[in-house]
A and B are shown apart, each in its own frame.
Chain A
Amino acid sequence: MSDWLSRHRWEAVLLVVLVVTIIGNAALSPFYLGFGNFINLFWLSIEKIIVVVAMAFVIINGEIDLSVASVMGFSAAVMASMQVSGDIPFLLAVVFGILAGALAGLVQGLLIARIGLPSLVVTLAGLIGFRGAARVILEDRSIGDFPEWFDRLGQQPLLGPIPLALIIFFAILAVAWVVLERGSFGRKVYIIGNSADVARYSGIGVSGVKLRLFIVSGLTAGLAGVLFAARLGSVRGSLAEFFELDIITMVLLGGVSIFGGSGTMFGVVLAVFTVLNIRNGLGLANVDGIMQTGVVGLLLLGSVLVPNLIERRRTRLPAPEP
């Protein structure tokens, strides 16, 4: 146990913060601890937290993907425009929407993994460019009138009280957890995040792993975009705008190092849970959305500043034996 604690100090801190928030929220509202509220908690941010899972991989690998929110909008726009043109079955439009996300990831991945451009710049261009593409497709229209089954999937529970998006999230989370912590791919992601050179000298195909990561990131964002469209019942060019901030914050708050190489899915899940609870609690206390965003911004700064300060105090001690 003490071994676990020494290696998962950050997760332990998060756990305490989480418990405190839950107690605080329960004190604010008698309905807070109900199962319905639990479902609601996730449902309201479900698209973001699906993308968080993929983003964790990207950041552990030492890269970043700023474009995810724009890719969400782009995918939804592709789907919606195909629905309007009406030439193909809507299910196919959904598939094309999700694939558009994967394609966006592929293009960015090629520029990063094969040409060697920094992911920060490529995905910044992606952030602007794919949002632009969504606007080109939709202009200032709002497209709704999706088939009834689609809206129902997005807006109503599927299994008992649980909606489809939540099922998808937990399925993705389970797979991602296993892949990151037990899979060969996950191991490579950590190794590359620590040192791409060490990975290369060990015969690991570094650029192949990076390329696949960005494709998966795009695919996930595409899926999230389509799910968001179903929940909203309509698509605009601005769908999911500025979500990237929340998404990256949750990953970093989960103890994933911005320099890559460290972090656990457990920590990320705790961070997701914490952020959702804090937002929920602030909502219960009648604090508006933009204020909640500010709190998330503060959390982001704190989640990097605090370990930095701890690290610095530790490095003042005598250097470890060579």
Chain B
Amino acid sequence: MSESAPVLTMSGISKRFGTTRALEDVSLILYPGEVHAVVGENGAGKSTLIKIMTGIYSADRGSMTLAGQKVSVSNSAEAQLLGIAAIYQEPLIFPDLSVAENIFIGHQDRGRIVNWDAMNDEAALLLAKLDLDIDPQILAASLTVASQQGVEIAKAISLDVRVLIMDEPTASLSAHEVNRLFQQVRSLRESGVAILFIGHRLEEVFEIADRITVLRDGRHISTTPTNEVTEEVLIQEMVGRDVSDFFIRTEHPIGERVLKVRSLGRQGVFEDVSFEVGEGEILGFAGLVGAGRTDVALALFGVAPADTGSIEVDGVSVRLNSPRDALALGIAYLSEDRRRLGLSVPQSVTANVTMATLKRYTSSIGLLDSIAERDDARGLVEKLRILTPSLSTPVAQLSGGNQQKTMLAKWLNVNPRILILDEPTRGIDVGAKADVHQFIDDLARSGIAIVLISSDLPEVLAMSDRVVAMREGQIRGIFGRDQATQERVMTAAVGTA
């Protein structure tokens, strides 16, 4: 295979966002007719790499060579013309158009008048080639996610792509659907397309990939043919750091069980999830993106209630149907999506810190006690060492790490008894990360029960008293502090036999 000429060569690609280094001198070669998997933890730089290939970002340094010619891509339409297409976890379809139209809408070469019959026939042929049983004339909105992805693959084929990027295409598919997808990928490979496959589940990667590249912290670690590498080696390369690089949690007693979850489940998302958390305990949740950890958290916070099982707080069974219910019981949830769900960034630091506790500052006639608000905000800003010019500065003007701390301050201001932290250190710099770890430890020592969801495995291991490993919506193991090694937890989370 490496005999043939490479179709796409990325060499020496670097990209920074402010002070965050997303990619540093990464090189990657794609040959026609190969499935090349790229693996790595969250933040390793996979998405940034894809976005540079499809023209959404431009690289700070480095070059891209397509079939021997140096190219620069400034948007996804240009990428498509060059024969580079991408398929995402959430298919980008036109719900109101038919399947056939979804395939052909971007084509420039089919004349000004649509020939419906020819288009439908051609679409049917394409879909049949992929062994997809989809009627080209029905609306795309009525398809399942898996079928929509099939349509996107058909679209890519119709555009004669040379490079097809698949960004975690299996994340929301069932095992059966994954099998079908892989059949389609294989037939694409046979027709000479180079496929860049981003995956989280290692077993899938081993099943489909010819070569595997590992990225870590924005750097290229290794590229190896699949049959020359073992999962253990890959996991070590992905993780790379030692637990000792982290803040180590101090020993301390664990109090009463505050939260008990029994056989919790939500149709098609997660099932039979049971665990307990005690006062002052940090319960870590390890697993891959899409393993259902966030969904369990959303059920506990009342955003997307569970439909089976029970939740007990202080031994009393509770129903959680909205965040208000959860907050009333002292359950707070720090979202993984700071911009969309966590902060109101145009507003001041104070307004964000008091957002979830407005009632406390509201007088009987509905006015806010702004002095008390500022006092509380000031206290938390000092305690969490949030760097801000003033309390009335819009949060948008703070750095990522300080925004993250502001979000933490918002939830600390609630005085929660149970605090769920979803990726609390994602995308923030090293200094802020260490600070956040310190606060989490302080909080636990003050008696708060903490659920820590993180895809950063060393972080989970360093911070947690016990670690829950989740995979595909189920708990695959709960490890005590002394049993929880990187290899054991990762194995449970990625699911090797």
A286 contacts chain B at the CB level, 8 A cutoff: no
Q: Which of A187, A202, A322 contacts B323 (CB 8 A)?
A: A202
In whole angstroms, how far apart are the Cα atoms of A182 and B322 in the complex? 27
Q: Are B327 and A198 in contact (CB under 8 A)?
A: no
In whole angstroms, how far apart are the Cα atoms of A204 and B414 in the complex? 13
A297 contacts chain B at the CB level, 8 A cutoff: no
Q: Are A184 and B343 in contact (CB under 8 A)?
A: no
Question: Contacts A200-B323, A322-B399; is A184 near B344 (CB within 8 Å)?
Answer: no
In whole angstroms, how far apart are the Cα atoms of A204 and B410 in the complex? 14
In whole angstroms, how far apart are the Cα atoms of A187 and B335 in the complex? 21
Which residues does chain A contribute within 8 Å of B355, judged by CB atoms? Answer: 191, 198, 202, 204
Q: Are B366 and A190 in contact (CB under 8 A)?
A: no
Question: Contacts A182-B370, A187-B358, A202-B323; is A322 near B427 (CB within 8 Å)?
Answer: yes
Mask: chain B, 459-487; 1 = CB below 8 Å from A; 0 = not: 00000000000000000000000000000
**What number of B residues sit within 8 Å (CB to CB) of A?**
40
A205 contacts chain B at the CB level, 8 A cutoff: yes
A201 contacts chain B at the CB level, 8 A cutoff: yes
Report the stretch among B15-23, B135-143, B145-153 that lies at the interface. Answer: B15-23
B341 contacts chain A at the CB level, 8 A cutoff: yes
Question: Contacts A197-B340, A201-B303; is A322 near B327 (CB within 8 Å)?
Answer: no
**Chain A proximity of B348: nearest CB distance (Å):** 10
Which residues does chain B contribute within 8 Å of A184, judged by CB atoms? Answer: 358-359, 361-362, 366-368
B400 contacts chain A at the CB level, 8 A cutoff: yes
Mask: chain A, 180-213; 1 = CB below 8 Å from B; 0 = not: 0011110110110011011111111100000000
In whole angstroms, how far apart are the Cα atoms of A319 and B370 in the complex? 33
In whole angstroms, how far apart are the Cα atoms of A199 and B368 in the complex? 17
Specify the chain A residue showing the minimal Cβ separation from B298.
A201
In whole angstroms, how far apart are the Cα atoms of A261 and B351 in the complex? 13
B326-346 residues with Cβ-Cβ distance < 8 A to A are 326-327, 333, 335, 340-346
In whole angstroms, how far apart are the Cα atoms of A203 and B359 in the complex? 11
Question: Contacts A178-B367, A183-B367, A197-B340; is A322 near B17 (CB within 8 Å)?
Answer: yes
A116 contacts chain B at the CB level, 8 A cutoff: no
Q: Are B341 and A201 in contact (CB under 8 A)?
A: yes
Which residues does chain B contribute within 8 Å of A188, judged by CB atoms? Answer: 358
In whole angstroms, how far apart are the Cα atoms of A3 and B392 in the complex? 10
**Chain B proximity of A209: nearest CB distance (Å):** 11
A256-307 residues with Cβ-Cβ distance < 8 A to B are 261-262
Q: Are A195 and B344 in contact (CB under 8 A)?
A: yes
Chain A interface helix/strand/loop/mixed? helix
Which residues does chain B contribute within 8 Å of A319, judged by CB atoms? Answer: 17-18
A104-126 residues with Cβ-Cβ distance < 8 A to B are none
Question: Contacts A187-B358, A322-B427; is A198 near B368 (CB within 8 Å)?
Answer: no
Mask: chain B, 352-388; 1 = CB below 8 Å from A; 0 = not: 0001101101100011101000000000000000000
In whole angstroms, how far apart are the Cα atoms of A190 and B358 in the complex? 13
Q: Are A322 and B400 in contact (CB under 8 A)?
A: yes
Q: Are B410 and A202 in contact (CB under 8 A)?
A: yes
A160 contacts chain B at the CB level, 8 A cutoff: no
**Chain B proximity of A159: nearest CB distance (Å):** 25
B189 contacts chain A at the CB level, 8 A cutoff: no
A311 contacts chain B at the CB level, 8 A cutoff: no
Q: Are B410 and A183 in contact (CB under 8 A)?
A: no
B324 contacts chain A at the CB level, 8 A cutoff: yes
In whole angstroms, how far apart are the Cα atoms of A198 and B338 in the complex? 9
**Chain A proximity of B294: nearest CB distance (Å):** 13
Which residues does chain B contribute within 8 Å of A200, judged by CB atoms? Answer: 303, 322-323
Specify the chain B residue showing the minimal Cβ separation from A191.
B344
Which residues does chain B contribute within 8 Å of A194, judged by CB atoms? Answer: 344-347
Which residues does chain B contribute within 8 Å of A199, judged by CB atoms? Answer: 344
Q: Are B344 and A198 in contact (CB under 8 A)?
A: yes
A179 contacts chain B at the CB level, 8 A cutoff: yes
In whole angstroms, how far apart are the Cα atoms of A3 and B348 in the complex? 13
In whole angstroms, how far apart are the Cα atoms of A198 and B347 in the complex? 12
Which residues does chain B contribute within 8 Å of A87, judged by CB atoms? Answer: none
Which residues does chain A contribute within 8 Å of B367, judged by CB atoms? Answer: 178, 182-184
A34 contacts chain B at the CB level, 8 A cutoff: no
Specify the chain A residue showing the minimal Cβ separation from B344.
A194
In whole angstroms, how far apart are the Cα atoms of A197 and B342 in the complex? 9
A148 contacts chain B at the CB level, 8 A cutoff: no
Q: Are B368 and A187 in contact (CB under 8 A)?
A: yes
In whole angstroms, how far apart are the Cα atoms of A195 and B343 in the complex? 9
Q: Are B343 and A198 in contact (CB under 8 A)?
A: yes
A140 contacts chain B at the CB level, 8 A cutoff: no
**Chain B proximity of A204: nearest CB distance (Å):** 8
Which residues does chain A contribute within 8 Å of B20, judged by CB atoms? Answer: 322
A89 contacts chain B at the CB level, 8 A cutoff: no
11 contacts between A and B (CB under 8 A): A182-B367, A184-B362, A188-B358, A191-B355, A195-B344, A197-B341, A198-B340, A201-B303, A202-B410, A321-B17, A321-B400
Q: Sorted from nearest, which 4 A-B pairs have the closest CB atoms?
A: A321-B18, A184-B362, A202-B356, A194-B344
